[in-house]
Amino acid sequence: MQREVPERSPKSALLSRRSFATAAGGALVALGVGQGLARSAEAEAQVSPGPRAAAAAADGPYTQAFLTQYEKIKNPDNGYFSADGIPFHSVETLIVEAPDHGHQTTSEAFSFWIWLEAAYGRVTGDWAPFNKSWEVAEASIIPPHIDQPTNDSYSPAKPATYAPEHPQVTSYPSELNPSVPVGSDPLAAELASSYGTMDVYGMHWLMDLDNVYGFGNKPGTGDELGPGKMASFINSYQRGAQESVWETVPQPTTDLFKYGGPNGYLDLFVKDASYAKQWKYTNAPDADARAVQAAYWALTWARAQGKEGQVAASVARAAKMGDYLRYSMFDKYFKKIGNCTSPTGCEAASGRDAQHYLLSWYYAWGGSTGTGGGWAWRIGDGIAHQGYQNPLAAWVLSTVPALIPKSPTAKGDWQKSLTRQLEFLRWLQSAEGGLAGGCSNSWDGQYGTPPAGTPTFYGMAYDWQPVYHDPPSNNWFGFQVWCMERVAQCYYVCGNATAKSVLDKWVAWAAEHTTVGADGSLRFPSPLRWPGAPDTWNAASPGANAGLHVAVVDYGDDVGVGAALAMTLIYYAAKSGDADAAGLAKALLDAMAGHADAQGIAVPETRRDYNRFDDPVHFPAGWSGTSPQGVKLGAGATFIGMRPWLKQEPGWPKVQAYLDGGAPPVFTYHRFWAQAALALSFASYAELLADEGGPGGGDDTTAPTIPAGLKVTATTSTSVSLSWSASTDDTGVAAYDVYRDGIPVGSPTATSYTDPGLSAATAYRYRVAARDAAGNASALSAEVTGTTQAGGGTGGAKVQYKNNDSGATDNAIRMSLKVDNTGGGALSLSTLTVRYYFTGDGGPSSYTTWCDWAMLGGANITHRVVAMSSPKAGADRYLEVGFTAGAGSVTAGGGSGEIQLRVHKSDWSNFNEADDYSRGTNSSFAEASKITAYVGGELVWGMEP
């Protein structure tokens, strides 16, 4: 899912942004191609002028699949667009990820819309929808002058006032500190000279299209109009890396103090001597770069049709956007890049010394509304995430004449950025092939000192979870495919050797962990974890990163992620000739097509994180205010309490039942970006690989015979081995799909398979199907049961700990734990408990505990506070952490992944943790001998107090 980043302003709090937010032959029939192309003339007339005649010439099955998916997206009855013609984040409103309801929109959605219309222009020759998407963007999500009115007061010599970020929301508001030196902005003057304005041309990341929050920051008004139906700029994240969507306080982008408290919403985030009414915006660089990428393809395809002039104005907009996008290449406060370990010790920069040339998590700008004197500010960001890099956009903006920006230094900046981005990805590539997180020029958001031994990239510290920590930012496989899709397109266009080497390794890793079942089921990596660290970067002699690893924690079938994976494989295969990659792309597309419904393509999702709907939201002590909708804000407010309209949604009873102790709710969502990505993947496959013969390939429609003689040949405490007789086929069997308990787990080419990583003394059911190269699949074999052997004793475990709250005397104990299996066999986590010892320091005898996030899923973690019958020094209670059966088991050498925990007293009074037995001060993971672990009730780790 897309996520955010926090940032701070010189006069008050800035905005934040999480961009945020994974082979059935003949499956394209399920898309309803004929039905889609026969939709009513009335619906079609609202899509674009005259598409029917243009579409009629495109009769290949994957082009038809693109057109069918396109028409589902553009059909007004399906609900993808607002009354203003702006794409919603999702059709469904009750959805919480980075946007906290579905009828918000993001710059990400806009960028996918622009790209979708570019592909439509290629297929139909109709470029009006592509131009329209840019016109709507310019009229809405790109703030016009009236919404950023005081840029003429901006001083490039003093771009912003420093305010540190903090690890926890409880540390906010953050105090402005004008004594910390900041550098100068080298872009502002040349941008103003090139475009005749001091305004910034970039998309703001978030809008509330139904204005349910009621701020009424309608584009083109420069005002806070209040409740009413309109598209409205808003923002949410703003309080440190640990702030999740469940802890946000939505706020207006133009804050005129009409709502919130006496200072509007500003004093929730930044502490200042006085507060001025102001405007502020945050840009998500990956979205702007994707819009540039889409403009390049539109230019390429229109030129091939002899219609370059029809897209010239939109392409010029993209070039201009790319000019301002360079703000994402600079440190937040324009300080020097590299070895920044204190706010005052990190030097202010001038010129290019503050430029890291990567696409960072955001850039932002803002200013006063003019009352009490004009002022304005701009900041970049010193934190870079692999998932945001776009080497294709860098190549385009430095190479393609129509897209080279006007500013005199822009071409050189993007040339250097292309090289730097590819070096960055090479530096982050694990031994297996996955890409680790990123780097920071400002550790903890306050130019802190990284842990000793932290590797660096041009002096910037490695961070496996750059930007946000709840959940860890690089654990989502979607960031892998979003980045690699762009690398693959860059490789396809320019043949860059570094891009190819990164792709070769990544594609092999991703393919190894991707399974497409004979029944159309999908399975590719979902959450990931990142043991180890890369080598410190040496451009002259890059290291092999033998100590950096990626582990797949679990698997998923998110169709948006699957579409991006397919797109990566398509472009890679088209350039390299890799037939296996092309075949896997086709299998993914055909399988996803089998999940079509009336609104698009989607699969059910189990939302265990929805147990956080009733989480409390922190407000500073004594702060109170009122939202435009009359909701009281302050102590005691909860996520759902601040958003009461969500309880009126049809799906709310499922959420409420979960909050009351029932099963996690299951929803099927139609996210705009995912639906557009699916359409684009069909179009790309048709353009670059094949669009004839239909899914399944050619005229081969004969399935292999059913595998016979399936049997269990061996078992251990962690594995089951199988064998079966070979199937026959008129063209040959390509692979066998092995199913465990109805889920695809492997696709061997031989007639045997060993299924690893299982729990001891557990029965598993297996069936096998055969598949040929055309995608024809046999029926499933007869079922056999394999039971793993009992484990050998209790095994071993060790506990790692880090402190998530540097304050020892506040009202919360916050920590992260990891438990690693040190035994020789699989460890069933339901047999494991962990104890963290502390003192209550008076106050009530009752406590509230939370699992804020866990790699295994918060619903699979149990937690409670237990009073000790015999108190010890530093311990009269312990937090006991356990695991449900749903947590499964971990193999020898494996681990639980991170578990983020929190403890409060029932009256929220303060602790004094300084003397607590188990507490450590380390802010990164380290072994913790004063935290104990038990397997089957037997102590296997640590020392009890």
Neighbours of 334 (CB within 10 A): 28
Contact 746, 677 (CB under 8 A): no
Distance (Å) of CA 441 to CA 44, 157, 179, 342:
51, 21, 19, 11
Distance CA 401, CA 398 (A): 8
Given a contact cutoff of 8 angstroms between Cβ atoms, the answer to whether 295 and 315 are in contact is yes
Residue with tokens 């029944």: 519
Asked if residue 281 lies in contact with residue 19, where contact means CB atoms within 8 angstroms, the answer is no
d(CA 490, CA 500): 9
Measured between alpha carbons, how far is 161 from 182 in angstroms, rounded to an integer?
7
For the purposes of burial, counting CB atoms within 10 Å of the CB of 367, is it exposed (0-12), middle (13-18) or buried (19 or more)?
buried
- Do the bridges between strand 174-175 and strand 270-271 make them parallel or antiparallel, or are there none, so unpaired? parallel
CA distance 921 to 917: 12
Both tokens of 281, joined, read 């915006």
Look up residue 588 and give its two tokens: 């993914």
Of the candidates 750, 761, 749, 751, the one whose C-alpha atom is nearest the C-alpha of residue 720 is 761
Across the strands, what pairs with 721? 714, 754
Q: Please state, in angstroms and rounded to a whole number, the distance separating the CA atoms of residues 450 and 463.
A: 9
Tell me if residue 59 is catalytic.
no
- Name the catalytic one among 519, 535, 554, 841: 519
Q: What is the DSSP string of 93-124?
A: S---SSSSSTTEEEHHHHHHHHHHHHHHHHHH
Do residues 86 and 207 touch, judged by C-beta distance below 8 A?
A: yes
Residue 626 structure tokens: 């009122």
Q: Which region holds residue 441: left if phi is over 0, alpha if psi is between -120 and 50, else beta?
A: alpha
CB 761 within 8 A of CB 798: no
Structure tokens at 623: 């702060």
Helix, strand, coil: what percent of the chain each, to 5? 30, 25, 45
Residue holding tokens 């598949």? Answer: 771
- What is the rounded distance in angstroms from the CA atom of residue 29 to the CA atom of residue 22? 22
Q: What is the total residue count of the chain? A: 945
- Report in angstroms the alpha-carbon separations of 776 from 331, 460, 586: 53, 51, 13
From the list 483, 2, 469, 383, the residue with the least C-alpha distance to 206 is 2
- Residue 872 parent element (H or E): strand 861-872
Q: What is the 3-state secondary structure (H, E, C) of 338-361?
A: CCCCCCCCCCECCHHHHECCCCEC
Q: Are 510 and 480 in contact (CB under 8 A)?
A: yes
Token representation of residue 332: 């937040």
Across 47-79, b (16+ Cβ under 10 Å) vs e yields bbeebeebbeebebbbbbbbbbbbbbbbbeebb
Residue recorded with tokens 């946007």? 99
- How many Å separate Cα 389 from the centre of its chain? 13
Per-position DSSP letters for 797-843, written without gaps between them = EEEEEEES---SSSS-EEEEEEEEE-SSS-EEGGGEEEEEEE---SS
SS3 state at 683: helix
Helix (H, G, I), strand (E, B) or coil at 4: strand
Q: Are 55 and 67 in contact (CB under 8 A)?
A: yes
What is the set of active-site residues?
Answer: 519
